[in-house]
Chain A
């Protein structure tokens, strides 16, 4: 990466930076994913090949690809990895502690352990069992993972410059599709392959309508999981957009007379603070909504009578 640091900037990058001049700017680059490390087609590693503002820094850079996949490691991928690593570490640690306490027949000690236990019981007793019934309760660990992972990603997105992981359509798409894959697999495992697909169509459907009904019923969970993905993505990115745009008022104001620009900062910061508070609420709500809906979908697939 160091040897590339002096590489001439691409033309487009220069133009973009010229537009950036004067302190004005587009806040989008704070929200969008950023390539941290890229493996170039030339076999060299590039550190932030697109720079902090999303404009190509190296004229010669073109990412190495495997099929449609670029060999780049992005900010959201980093955040995601850090969150997953910390979650695995913290929660297994807490689990050991709680197990220790439970084994000795004493109450759970420690604030974090109690908080995790409370959330765990909340997910199991208020979400999984009421929404999915006891059949879905076997898969409580799945929903717990969704809940804790999404909640952590959402909340970490509120840390400036951490990057809103759930504000990345790729991440939420994986989450949404994983729900569909899991519910299909669990449906087949619980009902049997033929039974699962044949019983998608309600009994008593006229034969000519059968293919259409099958298609509709098959598409139902697909669409539902797609909506799951879009809902999380849209909610999380919308908050980030609003906050960054409000904060950008002062930056944009750089082109305006100084008084107005300073005034805009005084308006923008408190407003962004207020929206941030609201966003923290949204972080919890979206984690809750995603988990609850996935419980309902999985519950319906595992045991359709409910």
Chain B
């Protein structure tokens, strides 16, 4: 029974090809080859090649655009940096100018104030001198009247005056 399981026990005729199978396979296979080559593989491979090229071109284009964009970005960055620098410079200059203007204004104000002070001092001095002079005049007149009254004799007014003024001069020195 088990002997029947042995392949060669069943006869080795299955190893030998049959002529009709050979001929038929030949016909079918070459027909299949022709049909598939003409209607399937040929057009398919061509289309896939084209698609490959198209995709390759798209990738290359995208690459080129990416590079271009990168270049532009770098350029803009540079420009931005320059602009920033310029802006900083402008601000610095503005600050400097402002400080200068402030200092100038301050200095001018200071000078003005000093000048005003000086003038005030001068005016005060003048007023003082005027007051003193007036006071002295009055004193001279008054004293002359008093002296005339006291000595009851007319002295020449000019003599009096000279005399009193010298007296006041002395007194004035003491007062001052």
Chain A residues within CB distance 8 Å of chain B = 24-28, 31-33, 67-74, 76-77, 80-81, 84, 87-88, 91-92, 94-95, 98-99, 102-103, 105, 117, 120-121, 124, 140-142, 144-145, 148-149, 168-171, 173-175, 178, 237, 241, 245, 248, 252, 255
Docked-complex contact B45 and A33, CB < 8 angstroms: no
Distance, CA A95 to CA B43, complexed state (A): 8
Q: In the assembled complex, how far is the CB of residue A81 from the closest CB belonging to chain B, in whole angstroms?
A: 6
The 4 closest A-B pairs by CB, nearest first: A170-B21, A141-B41, A170-B17, A69-B19
Q: A24-B4, A26-B10, A28-B14 are in contact. Are A173 and B22 (CB under 8 A)?
A: yes
Docked-complex contact B21 and A168, CB < 8 angstroms: yes
Q: Does B51 contact A (CB under 8 A)?
A: yes
Question: 15 A-B Cβ contacts within 8 A?
Answer: A33-B21, A69-B20, A77-B24, A81-B28, A92-B40, A95-B39, A95-B44, A117-B44, A120-B41, A141-B33, A141-B37, A141-B42, A141-B45, A168-B17, A255-B1
Which residue of A is nearest B3, CB measured? A26
Chain B residues within CB distance 8 Å of chain A = 1-2, 4-5, 7, 9-11, 13-26, 28-33, 35-37, 39-45, 47-48, 50-51, 54
Interface residue from A24, A25, A149, A241 paired with B32 (Cβ < 8 Å): A149
Docked-complex contact A170 and B31, CB < 8 angstroms: no
Which residue of A is nearest B14, CB measured? A32
Docked-complex contact B22 and A26, CB < 8 angstroms: no
Docked-complex contact B18 and A33, CB < 8 angstroms: yes
Most A CB within 10 A of own CB, among B16, B20, B39, B47: B20
Docked-complex contact A80 and B36, CB < 8 angstroms: no
Docked-complex contact A28 and B44, CB < 8 angstroms: no
